[in-house]
Copies of this chain bind each other. A is one copy, B any other.
């Protein structure tokens, strides 16, 4: 099934965790860069709040280029397209914030994303990671999908403590306060094969 962790060979592809009417799900955030003038395109049947997450993620990176060794000019010389499959499913809410900022950071650095990692959490403009809902359902979906490491806001730690241990077996949790910690955990030093010259 497609609801499995896949691989980390492509820059800009990050696994997120979503919570829908029928339970938890994994989702992928994909970022593609192409030479251009800094245009941002958002697809995947996204609601306004989820689109705002992408704006926040992009602005966070623009304002923190130094932390990732990015060049300010890159943001004006590449078009950015962020997509969240699957198109038939409407998606909204702020909880893909960490996934989006990691996807964008991977695309702009061309660094690989850690294998078998998933994440969920709202981000703010100054780089805080806020807690989100549906943690139990998301954890179950992550296990089913073959995930081994999960990044959450430190304010979601209490939600994990309430889950029966048998559901947590084989999962390692990384509780964070800042986007900077997310990126350190999620991005490998290794670049993808044939990286773009950004």
Q: Which residues of A contact B (CB under 8 A)?
A: 1-2, 10, 12-13, 28, 30-35, 41, 43-45, 48-49, 52-53, 55-56, 59-60, 62-63, 72, 75, 79, 81, 83, 85-88, 93-94, 97, 122, 124-126, 128, 130-131, 155
Whether A85 lies near B45 (C-beta < 8 A) is: no
Each complex incorporates copies of this chain amounting to 6
Whether B33 lies near A63 (C-beta < 8 A) is: yes
Whether A93 lies near B85 (C-beta < 8 A) is: no
Closest 10 CB pairs of A and B: A87-B94, A83-B125, A34-B62, A30-B125, A43-B52, A85-B124, A59-B81, A49-B87, A32-B63, A34-B63
Whether A49 lies near B88 (C-beta < 8 A) is: yes
Task: Please measure, in the bound complex, the distance between the C-alpha atom of A124 and the C-alpha atom of B125, giving whole angstroms.
Answer: 26
